[in-house]
Amino acid sequence: MAIRAPAMIVTIYGDVVVPRGGVLWMGTLVETCAALGLGESLVRTAVSRLVSAGQLVGEREGRRSYYRLAESARQDFAEAAHLLFGPRPERRGWTIRYIPGQDDPPRGAAMAQIGPDLYLVPGAAGDAGPGLMFGAELRAGAALMPGWAERLWRLDDYAQGYRRMIALFAPLDEALAQGRALSGTEALVARLLLVHSYRAVLLRDPRLPPEALPPDWPGDEARALFRRLYLALSGQADARIGARMEGSDGLLPRETAQTRARLESLSSH
């Protein structure tokens, strides 16, 4: 599994740091990334790029450097966390948008162009946005919908991403089911890789209504695997976080109200 340092650092902040106050010591980040196979110089370069991009903000206390999530990035992190840990993301119905006179067509995984200045969006109409907006529903020809959706959204690309994630983590799922024990570091690394892999597909997936998906759609299987493994790994992973990872106020807490809410949500869905 290829890992890019900036993307993995975003995963570390989203999974570990944000629900525990949002601040991490650079030394802890370097140590955590080393366990993932990322060298210190690569990590420091990636952090500098994330600061320049407005995602992280640096702070110094004596000789130590700490980094926290920038306020401007919090909404993106909150939306990603809701998709990962909240109820199963599912859209119902459709929206048709007419957006004339755009030199650059609107972009986004969930918006497919179906004609000049005309776009189909999964789900009920949300924010007003530019142009005209109409609600729509599938009334006939349901058997044709998955094939049309594949052409509009290239669903096979997302299906392959989910299948790669399943193939990568199914052996760990089986090993844990058979009683294999992991160390705290192993559990934390496995959980970070799990979140990283699943998040990379989930955030791009347009999350179409069920009638648009093929019968062999692997998204549900991938979500069930993510849920099962995240719950199985979290005891040891969170213990490792509480014992070794430092923020500006000392060791990060093993658990918080936010981390408990995530686990409870996964347990109930």
For residues 120 and 25, give the distance between their C-alpha atoms in angstroms, rounded to a whole number.
Answer: 45
Cα 71 to Cα 13, 21, 78, distances in angstroms: 13, 13, 11
Q: What is the pLDDT of residues 134-172, one digit of tens each?
A: 888 888 988 999 999 999 999 999 999 999 999 999 999
Cα 81 → chain centroid = 7
Number of domains present in the structure of the chain:
1
Q: What is the pLDDT of residues 25-35, one digit of tens each?
A: 999 999 999 99
- Within a domain: 120: yes
- Within a domain: 114: yes
Mean pLDDT over the full length of the chain: 92
Confidence of residue 69 (pLDDT cuts 50, 70, 90): confident
Residue with tokens 């791009």: 204
Kindly give, in sequence order, each residue whose CB lies less than 8 Å from that of residue 101, ignoring residues fewer than 6 positions away.
117
Angle, CA of 218, 223 and 227, to the nearest 5°: 150
Looking at the DSSP bridge assignments, the partners of residue 11 are none
- Within a domain: 104: yes
Cα 24 to Cα 20, 52, 73, 202, 237, distances in angstroms: 9, 18, 16, 26, 17
> What is the three-class DSSP state of 97?
strand
Cα 82 to Cα 21, 33, 161, 201, 265, distances in angstroms: 18, 25, 20, 15, 10
For residues 140 and 233, give the distance between their C-alpha atoms in angstroms, rounded to a whole number.
Answer: 45
Q: What is the pLDDT of residues 164-206, one digit of tens each?
A: 999 999 999 999 999 999 999 999 999 999 999 999 999 999 9
Which tokens belong to 177? Answer: 């089911």
Confidence of residue 89 (pLDDT cuts 50, 70, 90): low
- How much is the pLDDT for 124? 75
**Mean pLDDT calculated for residue range 249-269:** 96
- How much is the pLDDT for 130? 76
For residues 170 and 262, give the distance between their C-alpha atoms in angstroms, rounded to a whole number.
Answer: 22
Cα 36 → chain centroid = 18
User: Given CA atoms 70, 72, 75, 80 in this order, what sign does their dihedral have?
Assistant: negative
> Which residue type occupies 47?
V
**Are the C-beta atoms of 185 and 240 separated by less than 8 Å?**
yes
Please indicate, yes or no, whether the overall pTM of this predicted structure exceeds 0.85: yes
- Within a domain: 98: yes
- Within a domain: 182: no
Cα 58 → chain centroid = 24
- Within a domain: 110: yes
- How much is the pLDDT for 103? 63
Kindly give, in sequence order, each residue whose CB lies less than 8 Å from that of residue 72, ignoring residues fewer than 6 positions away.
54, 55
Confidence of residue 105 (pLDDT cuts 50, 70, 90): low
For residues 21 and 250, give the distance between their C-alpha atoms in angstroms, rounded to a whole number.
Answer: 11
Confidence of residue 230 (pLDDT cuts 50, 70, 90): very high
- Within a domain: 16: no
125: containing domain: 94-136
- Within a domain: 31: no
